[in-house]
């Protein structure tokens, strides 16, 4: 099931917020999104990619700064934020939703569509 902000809000578990909302990115450009969280103590964040009609797939997990393929992410525990970058956006990224989830503390998400 998609991790929609409305569903999570209804569950009283919304704690992570995407700042940019929906963003359109052209091929070969770099996509970047920033999420903030309001959890007092956070160890790590998990970023998932969900394409239409598919289950979410883990693309990167981090406790600080990490790179995995075209994905780079950074965690700022002082500023309570996470940045995700996707280099050289491809057509196959179209329609993808990127969500962030914090383990063992409920779920929050930030969603973005690449067109």
* Residue 27 belongs to domain with CATH number: 2.60.40.10
Range of the domain at 20: 5-101
Domains held by the chain: number: 1
Residue 66 belongs to a domain: yes
| 91 within domain boundaries | yes
Residue 13, domain member (yes or no) = yes
pLDDT at 42 over 50: yes
The pLDDT confidence band at residue 105, using thresholds 50, 70 and 90, is very low
Residue 114: inside a domain, yes or no? no
Greater confidence (100 vs 111) lies with 100
Domain membership flag for residue 25: yes
Position 107 in a domain: no
- Backbone torsions φ then ψ of 6, nearest 5 degrees: -65, -45
More confident residue, 100 or 24: 24
Q: Which residues contact 30 (CB under 8 A, 6 or more apart)?
A: 85, 86, 87, 88, 89
Distance CA 112, CA 68 (A): 19
| Residue range 30-36: mean pLDDT, rounded | 83
Q: How far is CA 7 from CA 2, 4, 13, 26, 107, in A?
A: 9, 5, 9, 30, 10
Could you tell me if residue 20 is inside a domain? yes
Confidence of residue 111 (pLDDT cuts 50, 70, 90): low
Tell me how far apart the alpha carbons of residues 80 and 59 are, in angstroms, rounded to a whole number: 21
Mean pLDDT of 90-112: 63
pLDDT score for 83: 84
């Amino acid at each position: 099931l998609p991790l929609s902000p409305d569903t999570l809000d209804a569950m009283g578990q919304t704690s992570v917020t995407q700042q940019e909302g929906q963003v359109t990115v052209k091929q070969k450009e770099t996509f970047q999104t920033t999420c903030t969280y309001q959890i007092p103590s956070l160890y790590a964040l998990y970023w998932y990619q969900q394409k239409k009609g598919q289950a979410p797939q883990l693309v990167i997990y981090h406790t600080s700064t990490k790179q995995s393929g075209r994905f780079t992410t950074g965690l700022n525990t002082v500023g309570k934020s996470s940045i995700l970058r996707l280099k050289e956006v491809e057509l196959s990224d179209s329609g993808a939703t990127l969500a962030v989830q914090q383990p063992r503390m409920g779920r929050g998400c930030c969603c973005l569509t690449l067109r």
